[in-house]
Amino acid sequence: MVLIRPLAETPHAPAVAAWLHTEWWAASGWTLAATEAFLRSATGPAAPCCFVAEQAGAPLGTATFDIDDLPTRRDLSPWLASVWVRPESRGQRIGAALVARVEAAARAQGHPRIWLFTPEAERFYAARGWQREGLEEWQGRQVPLMSKRLP
């Protein structure tokens, strides 16, 4: 059974920091130490809060409920950010469960809408009710900006 809980309640901060640093954050100028420090401080329940999916004590993936995520759109908040699942664990609905967990956190905090941007996974989010709101620039390229109204 897959369990999703705040990263702060797990011993997985070093692994999650390494995943996110390698995937995106190093290209944004973060050091591995800064990545891990941010994740350790993202304890929730309000944003920021990092969640980790785990099974039998092993981390499988992560997602973050964040205050801001796109430097060009600091006017928008909150955000679903840094959704990542280990390659060998993909295709098992872990990403969908992580997205739903962040949506639930935003809803519990009374937010009527949540935002994300994605360089590669627009179809994944659209299949989960997210709507494209336009294009924004991120790391020198155009990426879809998406939002979801929370019931």
Domain residues of the chain, as ranges? 3-110
- Cis-peptide into 45, omega within 30 deg: yes
Annotate 35-69 with b (16+ C-beta within 10 A) or e (fewer): bbebbeebebeebbbbbbbbeeeebbbbbbbbebb
Coil/strand/helix, residue 41: helix
Question: The pTM is what?
Answer: 0.93
Beta carbons of 107 and 151 less than 8 angstroms apart: yes
6 confidence band (pLDDT: 50, 70, 90): very high
User: Over the stretch 33-45, which tens digit does the pLDDT of each residue have?
Assistant: 999 999 899 888 8
| Residue-level pLDDT at 73 | 95
User: Over the stretch 101-145, which tens digit does the pLDDT of each residue have?
Assistant: 999 999 999 999 999 999 999 999 999 999 999 999 998 899 999
CATH label, 3-110, candidates 3.40.50.720, 3.40.50.300, 3.40.630.30, 3.30.450.40: 3.40.630.30
Phi, psi of 25 (to 5 degrees): -70, -30
